[in-house]
Amino acid sequence: MLMNIIKHTLSQSISEKSSNLASFVNLVEKSLSNIFDSLADKNYNFIEDLDLSNGILRIDLKNNKTYIINIQKNNKQIWLSSPFSGPKRFEYINNEWVDIHNNKIKLYELINTEFNNNYKLIGNKKLKLL
């Protein structure tokens, strides 16, 4: 009887973790797709190439600078490697990707700010991710 309860509890725990991980992966995939689509739709002249596959978004800029944004399943985080601000880690808190070391830094805002500060965008056409 006790062994059956332990097996059931363990099975339930594994099932919940799998479900939570699947939900997290889905959230990250949507977030990375949103960034990819926002950049691809605008056809910015400073972007050399965009690639999104297997939870990794690579943004190659024309001046040999590269952004890498990728999923970290074990930590339930998104990791960003920025050519301007360096590495950052984000967790999903209150419907936003927030830097784990400085909760004032939001993923979308950081990318917007870096692009707008480092590249002349035509007229009032500011980069605006979701």
Q: Quick check: 86 and 92 in contact, CB under 8 A?
A: no
For the chain, the structural domain boundaries read: 28-118
- According to CATH, the superfamily of the domain at 28-118 is Frataxin/CyaY (3.30.920.10)
Residue 58: the pLDDT is: 98
Each residue of 40-70: pLDDT tens digit?
Answer: 887 788 899 999 999 999 999 988 999 999 9
Residue 16: the pLDDT is: 45
Mean pLDDT value across the chain: 82
Q: How far apart are CA 122 and CA 130, in angstroms?
A: 19
Mean pLDDT of 65-92: 96
Instruction: Quote the pTM value.
Output: 0.79
What confidence category does residue 14 fall into, taking pLDDT thresholds of 50, 70 and 90? very low
Mark 98-118 as b/e (b = at least 16 C-beta within 10 Å). bbeeeeebbbbebbbebbeee
